[in-house]
């Protein structure tokens, strides 16, 4: 595990807020040279800390008005059924995220659709037809915020 100092944390936090800020501009804010800032960014990338990138888009404005979180319980739970289910569920384009979880449900899904009618189509034609599906629960997303976390 890589230990971060306060400067690393400040850099990671700034890039989490806005990934488009240049190493030069970031360095000036923190009293570092551009190459020194760049080296710290590279080090955090190589350690897998700065892992990915995310574009934050206003989905309803793009015609994707409904996001639903679905809790799914499987009726049968052999290793084969888990793998089959995971393969089938991952192939559905509207299914944005799949987490295998422990608790009341076996999987947590994030589904984005054009509207409720479109979501119903995905639910009926793609999800309910999957083999081994047990109890499911749908919650429609109203608002979402991401926080910086313990940096």
Return the number of the residue (31 or 53) whose C-beta is nearest other proteins.
53
The whole-angstrom separation of Cα 90 and Cα 80 is: 15
**Cβ at position 120, least distance to other proteins in Å:** 15
**Cβ at position 142, least distance to other proteins in Å:** 5
**Is residue 77 within the footprint of other proteins (CB under 8 A)?**
no
Binds other proteins (CB under 8 A): choice among 30, 34, 38, 49? 49
Binds other proteins (CB under 8 A): choice among 37, 40, 72, 112? 112
Question: Which residues have CB under 8 Å from 32's CB, separation 6+?
Answer: 7, 26, 40
Residue 81, token pair as written in the block: 């059924």
Residue 32 is given by DSSP the state -
**Cα 39 → chain centroid:** 27
Asked whether the beta carbons of 34 and 40 are under 8 A apart, the reply is: no
The whole-angstrom separation of Cα 36 and Cα 40 is: 6
**Is residue 32 within the footprint of other proteins (CB under 8 A)?**
no
Q: Which residues bind other proteins (CB under 8 A)?
A: 1-2, 4, 12, 15-20, 47-59, 61-64, 69, 71, 86, 89-90, 93, 95-105, 107-108, 112, 137-147, 149-151
């Amino acid at each position: 595990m890589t230990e971060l100092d306060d400067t690393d944390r400040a850099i990671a936090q700034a890039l989490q807020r806005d990934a488009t800020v240049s190493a030069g501009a970031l360095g000036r804010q923190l009293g570092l040279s551009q190459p020194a800032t760049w080296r710290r960014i590279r080090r955090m990338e190589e350690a897998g800390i700065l892992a990915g990138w995310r574009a934050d888009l206003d989905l309803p404005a793009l015609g994707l008005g409904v996001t639903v979180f679905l809790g799914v319980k499987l009726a049968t739970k052999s290793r084969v059924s888990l793998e089959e289910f995971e393969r089938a569920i991952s192939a559905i384009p509207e299914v944005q995220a799949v987490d295998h979880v422990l608790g009341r449900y076996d999987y947590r899904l994030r589904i984005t659709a054009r509207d409720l009618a479109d979501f119903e189509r995905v639910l009926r034609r793609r999800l309910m037809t999957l083999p081994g599906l047990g109890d499911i629960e749908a919650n429609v997303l109203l608002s979402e915020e991401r926080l910086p976390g313990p940096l």
